[in-house]
Amino acid sequence: MKVALITGITGQDGAYLAQLLLGKGYQVHGLVRRSASADVIGTRLKWLGIENDVQLHDGNLTDLSSLIRIIDTVKPDELYNLGAQSFVKSSWQQPLLTGQVTGISVTNVLEALRIVSPKTRFYQASTSEMFGLIQAERQSEKTPFYPRSPYGVAKLYGHWMTVNYRESFNLHASSGILFNHESPLRGIEFVTRKITHSVARIKLGLQDKLALGNMDATRDWGHARDYVEAMWLMLQQETPDDYVIATGRTVSVRSFCKLAFEAVGLKMEDHVYIDPQFFRPAEVEVLLGDPSKAKAKLGWEARTTLEQLVVEMIEADMKRAKDGVTL
């Protein structure tokens, strides 16, 4: 039985990855930052029905000693580093925290592996936000980076440290440069979930309006459930490498929003207004991934369409709103 350790296991990607690995017969462990609210810590794991199938360990990405202790205890074959301060907007209000948790902490994990378990295969969650002010129409592994937020800058540091430890210490360390990926488990602070949550409530008469920022920004949106499979595939390869994971299709926030309202038989124009407070200090206008390397080397491609994703998210939020449940 293979053993996996997931940082960020209580987040969207961590929960779906845990579900995938359990289905493949893994023993799954997760790092949990206990300063989070205890009553919501395992909400996503519970939603997937796997909260009793994973083993959680108290630790913190900013605490090297806890990482060494947990890795030495668990002795993972694979370690997936998904933990981060991952909300882009908050990174401008908390740039130092974002730098520590999203950037420096990657070095903490890599250093802990180098000291305690250098044979463990390592996955780093990189991001399309590193491309920022895009330098090519379609972004691939060879596209230069130009991050436009403290979050993107911190992720870029972690990305290059992963490359450096791979080349310096011969670690099996890979990075997945994941473009936007959503699901019913996405946090309410992200625009896609904010939209589907609000649309469900509007349909049920629980609210009337939805405030959004830049509706013309376009993103390459896929389903997190598909994307965690790509993470696993990277660590099954003989040689570690970096891969862009994307659908190859980009649409605007406006189009996503329109799809959500259409799914419940409403008109977006009747309920949406622009609020300047939701604009970013420096905007990433367009992201469009080129996943051809992942398809060629991993045999991976996105299976869930944007339309299917939106419907799944709307249906989940309708059920939660009716049941009075929050996520």
Catalytic residues, which ones? 127, 129, 151
Cβ atoms of 300 and 294 closer than 8 Å: yes
Cβ atoms of 48 and 257 closer than 8 Å: no
Q: What is the DSSP string of 288-299?
A: -B--HHHHHHH-
Cβ atoms of 199 and 210 closer than 8 Å: yes
Cβ atoms of 187 and 255 closer than 8 Å: no
Point out which residues pair with 252 in neighbouring strands.
Answer: 218
Q: Report residue 268 as tokens.
A: 């977006």
Cβ atoms of 300 and 248 closer than 8 Å: no
Spatial separation of the C-alpha atoms in residues 248 and 199, rounded to whole Å: 26
Cβ atoms of 221 and 155 closer than 8 Å: no
Cβ atoms of 5 and 117 closer than 8 Å: no
Residues contacting residue 46 through CB under 8 Å, at least 6 positions apart: none
77 to 80, 123, 273: CA distances (angstroms): 10, 11, 49
Spatial separation of the C-alpha atoms in residues 112 and 7, rounded to whole Å: 13
Other C-beta atoms lying within 10 Å of the C-beta of residue 118: 13
Spatial separation of the C-alpha atoms in residues 89 and 279, rounded to whole Å: 9
Report which residue type is found at 47: W
**Largest separation between any pair of C-alpha atoms in the chain:** 58
Q: Where are the alpha helices (DSSP H) in 8-62?
A: 12-23, 43-47
